[in-house]
Chains A and B, each alone.
Chain A
Amino acid sequence: MSTNRGNLKMAMVSMRAARWRSLLTMLGVIIGIVAVVTVVGIGEGVKQQVVRQVGHFGKDLITVRPGRTANRGAASSIKNTDILFGLNGTSALSERDVQTVAHAPHVTLAAPLGVVPGTVQVDNGPKQDNTLVLATNSNLPGALNQALLYGSFFGPETEEDNVAVIGRQAAQRLFQESVPLGRQFSFRGQNFIVRGIFADFDTTPLSPTADFNDAIFIPYQAADRVTGNTTQMYTILAKPDAPGQTGAAIAAINHSLGNAHGGQHDFSVLNPEQTLAAGSNVLSLLTTLITGVAAISLLVGGVGIMNVMLVSVTERMHEIGVRKAIGATNRQILSQFVLEATVLSVAGGVIGIGLSLLIDLLLHAYTSLKPVISWQAIVVATVVSLVVGVVFGAAPAIKAARKDPIEALRHE
């Protein structure tokens, strides 16, 4: 053990002696670790946000989507989900279906969500064509458990009026003020009056649910009027009449909607977990992909370390000879060089973790992503860099250890 302390010092010394080479060698490991830790952190962060959102919306929010989003295996577990839903042209859901869902047994309320294409213009200002305009009905705040910060949501009696409720971010972006109540904007040639502003939604970037903080909500009838009944409904949200009745409500909706569609099950009724699964599927696919790329980078980093250690062994052949002459066994030489490779690689790992934490801070500060770097990720990163060092340091170290002392001493 005490030999290793000497070796550790020696490893530090030789790292310092070849500062640039060591840094460049570590770069592969650094990039790999940063990529893995950051990507896993982002994935974890998004997952937690989605979970929080589901918690916020309630565990009993039922989502009806057009198309067969999910294929079910035995015992109604989801086998796989179709991430490309909604790309198949016209939606199978219509306004009539909202009524069907609302009147199904065990369902208290139903709210549609439809995307209304078009540009928003405020006071003859620039046209904002990236604003999400959603058509819904008066039940939306109830379905989402979402409170309003200012004003009120449109009730059933105003569902035909040109009114709008907007998210906080949209308020800032469009009107440059936080309480633009009573202000107007024009949308598809008609003026809409802002009558409410939503409290902050838990945003869910990367999730198929759009960012509601930056959206404008208008009544469905008004939307139909301005678009000529071409609003694409992408979701119907529904709530069961009592908590714990979600399963019964889903069955009832399936039955009623199936009947209404003439026996065609061209829609999916999902509970919150299943909605989540549809979203996190994309996410985990992405995470796996980038983690794979990062793993390759780690591998390349390991090869880099092996290369540098081979050079180092050749350079220090004479030293190896001297060490053997004064009594170092092959095993001791081996452990010295393995330790050096490990120090390089672990130093790379530590720098990588530091950089990941920095990137994490920057992401928190400047983007809506909220990465979560868990201690598990840090432990795994450290262990992986350790393993890379040992595995890729082994070959050069064996070469060093097996060298004949006389030959090594002759080497200059």
Chain B
Amino acid sequence: MTKSPEDLEASRSAVQASAEDTSAAEIDVAVGKDIIGKSPWEIFWRQFRRDRWALAGGVMVVIMILLAITAPLFARIVGHGPNEVNLKALDQFGLQGAPSWWPCPPPQEITFTGGTAESLGQSGCTAVPGYVLGVEGPGRDQFIRILYGARTSLFIAFFATGMAVILGVVFGLMAGFFRGKVDTVISRATDVVLSLPILLLALGLAAACGTTAEGCLGGLIKPGLILVGLIIGLFSWPYISRIIRGQVLSMREKEFIEASRSLGATDFRIMAREILPNVAAPLIVYTTLIIPANILFEAGLSFLGVGVPDEVASWGAMLASSGSAFTYAPWLMIFPGLALFMTTLAFNLVGDGMRDALDPRTQV
């Protein structure tokens, strides 16, 4: 006979009180409650949302994506784009203006001999109305450039990382599944790629291909965002490949693989339909952990001057030009640095949370 929810709850409490070690499922069986199975993704989501730090990271990632998407809207609101120059936002010595709320000391007029005539000037920094995060370079809005810089970072995050994931999965699957000579070739190729000095290669490419309009190889290699993404993607796949290879090696001997093979499934079908879904969890985790590393790598390349061109806003390039100005314009370093820090922290938190949520030892 059916019982009311209240009766069920009372029975449950009684059973629970008498058997402390009883699992939730066993309790439900004892009181006759129907067992509702949860899909792996529901279990994952339940675990993930219990991690407040991971949730916070996720929210930050979403905010960053939204800001990147709406960057043109903000540019329209403030009335200027990321590359528009406003020399009135510089002082007469060409120094960048401070954020509109910055506590600049009271202006003090000074006379000096500039060129051939006496001139009036103003000592100290100058807060510029309308520039909420200050002025960068030759009078560009730092707030807008930080928003557009988020696009650069997201491009690297998804394009470069996506390429690394695709290559890593393909090579890792093949190496782990086929073993033998295929594994040997792929594994040695992985070792070679890991040994290459990526930074020096990037510097060399920029030096060799960055001084002419045509670039190298008939225009195939030209400095820019695509090249940066390619370099990062082509040199970060080995990490994923090794992880996937290890997972596949342990999985290929399992009974369900044998069962698929005995049913006549091809190698491709087994890899795609049996193995790949089972490596998705660690793959997602490592992908979210590689994203911040790739974002920092792009920032590093731009810092060294071999990343994206000047008209493409990049947090790394902004940091590169801010170091020498720190004593008189600290906002040039603080805000791009914060943006980079918060973004990489957000992805790291999400990645940690996903790893914990997907670890079967922590699931209930």
Q: Do A and B interact with each other, yes or no?
A: no
